[in-house]
Structure 1
Amino acid sequence: MLGAAPPSLARPRNLPSTQDMRTLHRTVCRGALLALGAALSAAQSHAQGAGRVITQADYDIWRSIQGTTLSRDGRWLAYSLVPAVGDGDLVVRSTKGSTEWRVPRGYVGRPQLQPNADSGFTAPPPQFSYDGRVVAALTYASRAEFERARRGRRAADQPATSLAIVSLADGKVTTVPRVRSFAMPREAGGWIAYLLAGGDSAGGRGADSARTPGVAAATPGGTPRPISGDSTARRGGRRQETGATLVVRELASGNETRIEDVTTYAFADSGRWLAYTTASRAESHNGAFVRALGASGIGAEVALLSGKGSYRALTFDRAQKQVAFVSDHADSAAARPRMSLYQARLAATPTTRALVTPAGLAADRLLSDRGVSFTRDGSAVVFSVTPPRLDSIPADSLADKAVFDLWNYKDTRLQPQQRLEAARDRGRSYTAVYQLGTGKWLQLTNDSIPQVSLSEDGREALAVTNVPYALEALWGEGANDVYLLDTRTGARKPVARNVRFRAELSPAGRYVVWFADHGWHAYDAQSGKTTDLTAKLTGVRFDQETWDTPSDPQPWGVAAWTADDRSVLVYSHYDVWELDPSGARPAKVVTDSVGTKTHVQFRLVSTGGARGRFRGGDATVVDPSQPLLLSAFDDRSKESGFYRERLDAATPPERIVMAAYKFGAPIKAADADVYAVTRQSFTEFPDVWVGERLDRLTKVTDANPQQKQYAWGSAELFEWANGDGVPLQGVVYKPANFDPSKKYPMLVTYYEQMSDNLYAYDAPAGRNRINPTVYASNGYVVFTPDIAYTTGYPGQSALKSVVPGVQAIVARGFVDPKRVGIGGQSWGGYQSAYIVTQTPMFAAAFLGAPVANMTSAYGGIRWESGNSRVQQYERGQSRIGATLWDAPMRYIENSPLFYVPRITTPVLIMSNDADGAVPWYQGIELFIALKRFGKEAYLVEYNGEGHNPRKRANQLDIDRRMQQFFAAKLKGEPAPEWMEKGIPFVNKGRDQLAPVNAQSTATSAGQATLPR
């Protein structure tokens, strides 16, 4: 039997720490079922009490809902409730009753502790069993234990992961400690397999045992992953991998089978087979194995191939009739063993054969141990070959040699890009396909044709190459040549050249479609004919007419295909169109032009969710006999909702719901008409609503009940015209308890188009941005205007959009014109820097990672990618639209640096020394110029940070400094010491800013105040 939950798991009160531990069973008061339509008719603005002002002390407790999933029968909802920082819960909730089970998940709200590092930890989602009897999820140690381990800094001290298996019948939780991954069959209930963490394997392939198992950690979606060696030893100078213990548990009886030394494993979708590979200290026990699963339990181990060597990349076909894997067993005696590709047919007595061996490969090719799969119909195996790995040159071998990078004008990639991509280049591989029917295989990709996509049967492949346009792509948009490959013969047919946008192969491989010359084109693989599918249409555009950079407008995109490649569905700005790829049938607007007439944008919705966790067809293929679910967004009012439409009906789309909210993507139960969807507004957190219809939903979560304790602002749409008379929209966020007779300070922040966020919830958080929720709670009006751009004049475009908007709001009478500040990050930082050179309107400005001098930035490098910044200005976001030599004055006129003497606004600049997007020296150039002219300026440089601070301490620090800076300049509060005296370098690390309450003088009753 399984052991008790580890002491590290924080349990609900009064729960026994035994296997029979039960989670908190709470009866949630739900009241009468409220129709969504009735809820939507209520006034969105609600009475705001005095409320506490939001401070940094409140950020960590704000929770998010992650990994939402429905059981197949729709009776249960599961998700993780995760605080910004701290311990979270797995919540399992009845969709129709009031039953709710909670299991502590441990420290899932983990902030990033290192600068410029990848994003923080995200726990994998919970997974329901196919029969809906249990839900399983990984759990972790508490935050306190992680902090103790971090201080200890020993690998042995790191807290282990556990697995929680929750019985939906009674809430009973089975907790298994020390796990790595877990899996359940996608189309059968009754089984779960989990791999124990390192050190829990017996170290040899002994007989099956029924000892207490450890559990395997789930990867996202419950997909098992290979183990990179829990322990290693060296024999004969070679690194030896060893596996861990796999426990296979029959959920109904609790019977368990332990299998030692497992490295990878997978269930067949049907639950009839379990396959796994092993690596043992006794290498003769290594192998690839299967076991049959059935009502009588788990069968005996059957070896597909065993003995000395490595076994990897195990995979089933969709019909679960065969398995493929790779192994170097046949070459294991070599100093550097080479892999072979194997196929095994599953039966009472499985048979295994080698498909590709080293003898069948070219001398400069090896078979890769990654990327093995079957085609959809199981007729072919897709695998990869690779050249021998090019090892790095040891640094000590160059001690007395010249070390340099050579930049050559013929290089298609600059040296910084080559440096970043060196690991990829050394480990590059090429896609190949083995036809099981003919016994022949073909390498599909190479250095000249780096990309292919296969049809469902693997007989056709779409080959795309950008090699002929690689130099052009350094400065322009790049392009591709497109070919169709016969994977059986290698015959290659040219489809199209100089294609700017993505070409797509139809699911059955009959057609290739792509966008060019403002229309959709299709190539028929059978006839070799190319057809312009939209040439006869007038008054409709399929590229983005709202495109505002000096480059080719992108298409709105492909929505889906219908079965048998009969139709392809594409988008215009507002509507969905059906095109016949053969060109025989005329184009049809599926949504009856309702979108265009009403300014409502329709898009297909894939209600994947739970279904996506089980094999159920491709999201890109729709059944024309079934109704289509469409999301809807009104780009004038910003309301959203859902419509229903049919391909086989000539009727307008049926409205389900439209409301003053932002709806998330709905999840539908696989076997029931039950939906789960989030809805949000500026004042309403995106909690989950469930129901059998999208217009009759019931709220079943309450992630942040503490919100009602705080002073919360409101949001409203605001309209004005820019300096050229172009109508614009923006959002005005007003403070809690807004009084139109008062004069408030106002902050203006922007990027490009932000008005679509009218109904977006913005959780309190500290970063290098003006958070409307936080600042509105602290007594500011916040304005986020849209900007209309004119190519060649990005700075003036921002000025002519923002200033008239600010003037229009000031004219309303509730903003003090002498207390208006602006701020933005990146592109918003540049625009803010430009604006303050042109007007004295603003009393303070935050400039996050601004470009100050386009002439010097033009020739720089985007260090995060290694690419040149030239394209940014000639064709991209900076919107100059010409080279520096063709239009030098445009670069100068749009550069804030050349207008620094005009600036009267105090500025706070953030420019980080590891910024990979905007050159760090841009902020320095601006600061030096400001200092040279005696302007009030402060520059914060976070060491080792990139474009946006990722280390949480740095995020909170810039948030505090921004709040202090704006409070001093817009509220008249005393300036902090760092503004008055600076921080000498010798005090670096000693002077740590204390948390500060950004509210003005008075605090609300009950508010926690923090030291200055």
Structure 2
Amino acid sequence: MRRLLPPLNLVLLMRTVSLRTCWTLALGLLLAVCSGPLATAQQALDHDDYAIWNQMHTQALAPDGESVLYVLGPEHGDDTLRVAQPDGTHLLDVPRSTHDAQFTANSQHVITRIVPPTDAEDDDAPDSLAVASIDTGEVERIPDIASFRLPEESGDWIAYRHADTTNADNTSENADPDTSDTRADAGSTLVLRSLESGEERTYEHATDEYAFSPDGAWLVFARATPDSTGDGVFAVPTQTGDVRPLLTGPGSYTNLTIDEDSEQVAFLTNRDDVESEAIEADAPAHTLYRAALAEDAERIAGWQADGLPDNWWVSEHGSLSFSDDGTRLFFGTAPQPAPDTTATLVGEPVQVDIWHWQDERPQSVQLNDREEELQRSYQAVVHLNDDNRIVQLATEDRPNVDVGNNGNADLAVANTSRPYQQEMSWDFPSYHDVYLVDVNTGAARQVQEQVQYPASLSPEAEYLTWWDGTAETWWAQSVEAGSTPIDLGQAINAPLYNEDHDRPYPPFPYGSAGWLTEDEAFLIYDRFDAWAVDPSSPENPTNLTGGLGRAESMQFRIQQLDDEADTLDPDAPLMLHAFNTETKASGYYEGAVDGAPPTELIMMDRRFSGLTQAADSDRLLYQREDVSEFPDLWTATPDFDAPVQISTANPQQSNYRWSTAELTSWTALHGETLDGIIYKPDDFDADATYPLMVYFYERNSDNLHNHWAPAPHRSIINPTFYASRGYVVFVPDIVYEEGYPGESAYNSIMPGVTELADAPFIDRDRIGVQGHSWGGYQIAYMITRTDLFAAAEAGAPVSNMTSAYGGIRQRTGRSRMFQYEQTQSRIGGSLWEYPTRYWENSPLFYADRIDTPLMMMHNDEDGAVPFEQGVEMFMAMRRLGKPAWLINYNGQPHWPTEYHLKVDWQRRMQQFFDHYLMNADAPPWLDEGIPATEKGRTLGYEVE
């Protein structure tokens, strides 16, 4: 006779009883339990354990490869920075570190901010700065810090700014602190420090606009004094510490930008705002200045500058950047805003939205994007070697431009969807017209029309490339006038589109790895292999991975290890990430651009990710994981000989029952073989019977080796958590037929569930199902078709496609039509073309067939799925007298975002399923609800 797992309340009791105590108890029931699979010192995971489980945050190799930093900490708690050597030797810790920790360029120091404890009474207490020496392990702490900066190429210096203005002498001889002339946003003390000698120099009233030149030879900062008399931008040679004014005068100074050669700086200021009738705007006018770092600043562009369109000015919201060669300065412009003339009626402001059927974008989108549009800027360029000549590049019709070759090219590409704004409400992907813009004149010529994938310039700006989903190929086109598109996939004997694509819009590609140097070849992926195609001879592509990928079901993807490189060096070895699509094993191979078959470096039943290389060394850093192995850090040489584990994030895991993961397959009702993952308790007993939890979204089987650390997920179950508590968890893949998303989910999932339900270790009467959003919709649909599930949780489900179709996504203001016609809902057409499809796929219309207790979580500020969709389903269940619960976290979006709310959600979901699948007593909130009069006074968790 098979052994049934004990009820959950007994399992929880066992957590508090040691094995020795268990054996001394006289109760026969407990003796029987201790002789079974629970006879272990390990305990089941519980919600309190989230607080002790670390997550991996920032990680980095020192430039010389001789040390590693990483930041660990629980989701809700204090983080710790740790530094170790590549052999795993511990060097130092910095408690309460932030995630901005970084090495100096010479690898001698680690710099990070230290924040107050999570439970500190003063939430506004300023941070401290930690300066840690790699050689000595000593950590110096400097209090009251707002920010810090390091040079990119020099490890000799650090600059940091104090948070509290009391650290600065904010009283000048001309300032009266008792008058309104004293500004509240005066700067604070900026400190320039030599990391070698420890010598410091201070500069008062500095704002957070400060920066090093890349070589560390200069520090540039803006100053805001209490009475504005000392305002300006100043340059400091770091070797002497002397202060040189670049521009002074009352006003704000922002957007400090230094070029790559450490020779010049640019910034914006409102110092020159003209108080005259010529400028009728509520915002001050801004001026663009540029200075050689040893010279005074020169005015480059201001209001009504030559080269700008009529009534346009310099935008304070535009970014500044120099071209790589330093001969061009890019900045933002915008139409000058008209003065605010708020309409009134009988002296009262009139706030009204006018929805017009001919608007390019729905009023809801316009309102959502209003602030962004008010701050929109359009790129212009200053030709510094041509008498500071200004050319406007972007326009209102072509708002986004990208200049080739890091700003050095004479051409820019502009992709604009402006002519297709209305179609974006129902069509997907959005269409674009493609233009080439002359950087020297601003003249634009259209080269492509109505493409559904934005075009990009090659690194040397010789070609445009884009994906064509309808033709299912990549195209290239020379930038020369009169050129014609070139089919880059014409001689590649493998599909370049996603072969698993099952949505009604044209398929996306497997992707590209960019270009070889000098625009020699464009790098394209098929499902398994990588290809190099020279646009001048597309009939002769090179299979960079020698066809090994397709031959062995191995997906190869190129790893670019040089963070500074824009292209791939054809003479260097290829580092390839490898993923076996059948076994789900992964690792790394070495290949070559000549197309020789790559050779294996490391391959395991693990997931490998995050591969990086030290800037000045061949040392590698990466993470690996599987269901039971946390994604800790490892270091290795490029041949992966004798890799070393650096971190052990959660040693306490050995004290807990965990899960295993295995692949399974079955035949769907439409005849296709599908894969899924089964998670079992790591003390699985084939002679026991277990409840089964089913979770799904679309395809998840490739995630076989993903690690699920205990954490309060915002919406879905954690397979490890449930397996630890005595469940088996099943995660099946789904494939879809256009027009029938609900039926497709049923046809894919149910054969796998029923096959597993027939296994001797599954209790067929204790099967639950859970999913959120798209998963929630599919659950709501499926329980109208089957009574197999003893309990279901459907988070934020679309219950009525007919009412959802015409609504908007509150988060973006976009119409929901495109989602139903073209994307995830896969209906394939409009409500008027296929009314039956919308009705048949809506679970609301079949709610009378549901016999499964249904819990939903749907929040009243959901920006993705209208809250009313959950309400419609709940009210239908209530009207039909069927068990249903709706959990609404007030003011929360598509899922709860705050830690304590996520914990609450996971606790309620666990209590719901434990009641129906583990025979646990129902808590008060589940049994009888919580009256509005008790809201906030009780959580209803406790079971008497």
Q: TM-score, normalised by structure 2?
A: 0.91
Cα deviation 1:152-171 (Å, max 9, x = unaligned): xxxxxx21111100011111
Q: Which residue matches 2:57? A: 66
1:206/1:260 contact within 8 Å kept:
no
d(CA) in 2 for partners of 1:584, 1:903: 57
Q: Which residue matches 1:824? A: 771
Pick one of 745, 748, 773 that aligns with 2:694.
Answer: 748
Does 2:825 correspond to 1:878? yes
Aligned residue for 1:416, secondary structure, equals helix
1:957/1:993 contact within 8 Å kept:
no
CA displacement at 1:494 relative to structure 2? 1.8
Pick one of 236, 247, 250 that aligns with 2:191.
Answer: 247
Does 2:601 correspond to 1:656? yes
Does 2:396 correspond to 1:447? yes
Pick one of 296, 303, 313 that aligns with 2:245.
Answer: 303
d(CA) in 2 for partners of 1:364, 1:234: 34
**Higher mean C-alpha deviation, range 747-756 or range 486-495:** 486-495
1:342/1:353 contact within 8 Å kept:
yes
CA displacement at 1:503 relative to structure 2? 0.9
Q: Which residue matches 2:200? A: 256
CA displacement at 1:201 relative to structure 2? 4.8
Does 2:431 correspond to 1:479? yes
Pick one of 259, 265, 269 that aligns with 1:323.
Answer: 265
CA displacement at 1:332 relative to structure 2? 6.5
d(CA) in 2 for partners of 1:484, 1:47: 69
Pick one of 40, 43, 52 that aligns with 2:43.
Answer: 52
d(CA) in 2 for partners of 1:583, 1:344: 47
1:550/1:879 contact within 8 Å kept:
yes
Aligned residue for 1:921, secondary structure, equals helix
Q: Which residue matches 1:791? A: 738
Letter in 2 for 1:444: L
Cα deviation 1:555-590 (Å, max 9, x = unaligned): 222212122222221211211111113346722221
Q: Which residue matches 1:199? A: 165
Aligned residue for 2:467, secondary structure, equals strand
Matches within 5 A, 1:463-478: 463-477=414-428, 478=430
Aligned residue for 1:731, secondary structure, equals strand
d(CA) in 1 for partners of 2:496, 2:39: 45
**Change in CA separation of 1:97 and 1:969 when aligned onto 2, cut-off 3 Å:** closer
d(CA) in 2 for partners of 1:232, 1:974: 67
Matches within 5 A, 1:941-952: 941-952=888-899
Q: Which residue matches 1:228? A: none
Aligned residue for 1:186, secondary structure, equals coil
Q: Which residue matches 1:911? A: 858
1:201/1:243 contact within 8 Å kept:
no
Does 2:665 correspond to 1:719? yes
**Higher mean C-alpha deviation, range 172-181 or range 565-574:** 565-574
Matches within 5 A, 1:556-595: 556-583=510-537, 586-595=540-549
CA displacement at 1:479 relative to structure 2? 0.5
Letter in 1 for 2:73: V
Matches within 5 A, 1:541-940: 541-583=495-537, 586-607=540-561, 612=563, 617-618=564-565, 620-647=566-593, 649-693=594-638, 694-767=640-713, 768-940=715-887
Pick one of 440, 444, 469 that aligns with 1:488.
Answer: 440
Aligned residue for 2:751, secondary structure, equals helix
Q: CA RMSD in A?
A: 2.3
Cα deviation 1:861-919 (Å, max 9, x = unaligned): 11111011111111010111111111111111111111111111111111211111111
Pick one of 362, 387, 397 that aligns with 1:414.
Answer: 362
Q: Which residue matches 2:301? A: 356
Letter in 2 for 1:864: R
d(CA) in 2 for partners of 1:913, 1:417: 20
Cα deviation 1:108-149 (Å, max 9, x = unaligned): xxxxxxxxxxxxxxx33311111111110011111231xx22
Matches within 5 A, 1:222-233: none
Q: Which residue matches 1:511? A: 463
CA displacement at 1:484 relative to structure 2? 0.6
Pick one of 378, 382, 386 that aligns with 2:334.
Answer: 386
d(CA) in 1 for partners of 2:617, 2:917: 56
Aligned residue for 1:285, secondary structure, equals coil
CA displacement at 1:350 relative to structure 2? 2.1
CA displacement at 1:50 relative to structure 2? 4.6
CA displacement at 1:240 relative to structure 2? 7.1
Does 2:236 correspond to 1:291? yes
Cα deviation 1:440-478 (Å, max 9, x = unaligned): 211111221011101120421101111111111111022
2:630/2:707 contact within 8 Å kept:
yes
Q: Which residue matches 2:122? A: 149
Aligned residue for 2:165, secondary structure, equals coil
Across the two proteins, how many residue pairs are aligned to each other?
Answer: 888
Pick one of 83, 88, 100 that aligns with 1:125.
Answer: 100
Cα deviation 1:515-572 (Å, max 9, x = unaligned): 1221221121235412323353253222212111110101222212122222221211
**Change in CA separation of 1:528 and 1:179 when aligned onto 2, cut-off 3 Å:** farther
CA displacement at 1:358 relative to structure 2? 2.2
1:511/1:522 contact within 8 Å kept:
yes
Aligned residue for 1:540, secondary structure, equals coil
Q: Which residue matches 2:110? A: 135
CA displacement at 1:97 relative to structure 2? 6.0
**Higher mean C-alpha deviation, range 942-951 or range 599-608:** 599-608
Q: TM-score, normalised by structure 1?
A: 0.85
Letter in 2 for 1:437: N
CA displacement at 1:205 relative to structure 2? 9.6
d(CA) in 1 for partners of 2:40, 2:630: 18
Aligned residue for 1:862, secondary structure, equals coil
**Change in CA separation of 1:314 and 1:331 when aligned onto 2, cut-off 3 Å:** same
Cα deviation 1:758-792 (Å, max 9, x = unaligned): 10011112233111011101100000000011111
d(CA) in 2 for partners of 1:467, 1:665: 37
**Change in CA separation of 1:232 and 1:391 when aligned onto 2, cut-off 3 Å:** farther
d(CA) in 2 for partners of 1:257, 1:939: 61
d(CA) in 2 for partners of 1:396, 1:888: 45
Letter in 2 for 1:484: L
**Change in CA separation of 1:299 and 1:402 when aligned onto 2, cut-off 3 Å:** closer
d(CA) in 2 for partners of 1:520, 1:713: 43
For structure 1, which runs of at least 5 residues remain unmatched after alignment?
1-45, 107-122, 151-157, 208-230, 997-1010
d(CA) in 2 for partners of 1:169, 1:288: 37
For structure 2, which runs of at least 5 residues remain unmatched after alignment?
1-36
d(CA) in 2 for partners of 1:206, 1:407: 54
Letter in 2 for 1:873: Y
**Change in CA separation of 1:554 and 1:474 when aligned onto 2, cut-off 3 Å:** same
2:288/2:302 contact within 8 Å kept:
yes
CA displacement at 1:671 relative to structure 2? 1.1
Letter in 1 for 2:592: R
2:758/2:764 contact within 8 Å kept:
no
CA displacement at 1:491 relative to structure 2? 2.3
**Change in CA separation of 1:886 and 1:162 when aligned onto 2, cut-off 3 Å:** same
d(CA) in 1 for partners of 2:263, 2:516: 28
d(CA) in 2 for partners of 1:172, 1:832: 56
CA displacement at 1:963 relative to structure 2? 1.0
CA displacement at 1:333 relative to structure 2? 6.2
Q: Which residue matches 1:83? A: 74
2:542/2:595 contact within 8 Å kept:
no
d(CA) in 2 for partners of 1:357, 1:655: 59
Cα deviation 1:665-723 (Å, max 9, x = unaligned): 21211111211111000101011111224353111111100100001111111111111
**Change in CA separation of 1:333 and 1:257 when aligned onto 2, cut-off 3 Å:** farther
Aligned residue for 1:861, secondary structure, equals coil
Does 2:378 correspond to 1:430? yes
Letter in 1 for 2:688: K
Q: Which residue matches 1:1003? A: none
CA displacement at 1:87 relative to structure 2? 1.6
Q: Which residue matches 2:13? A: none
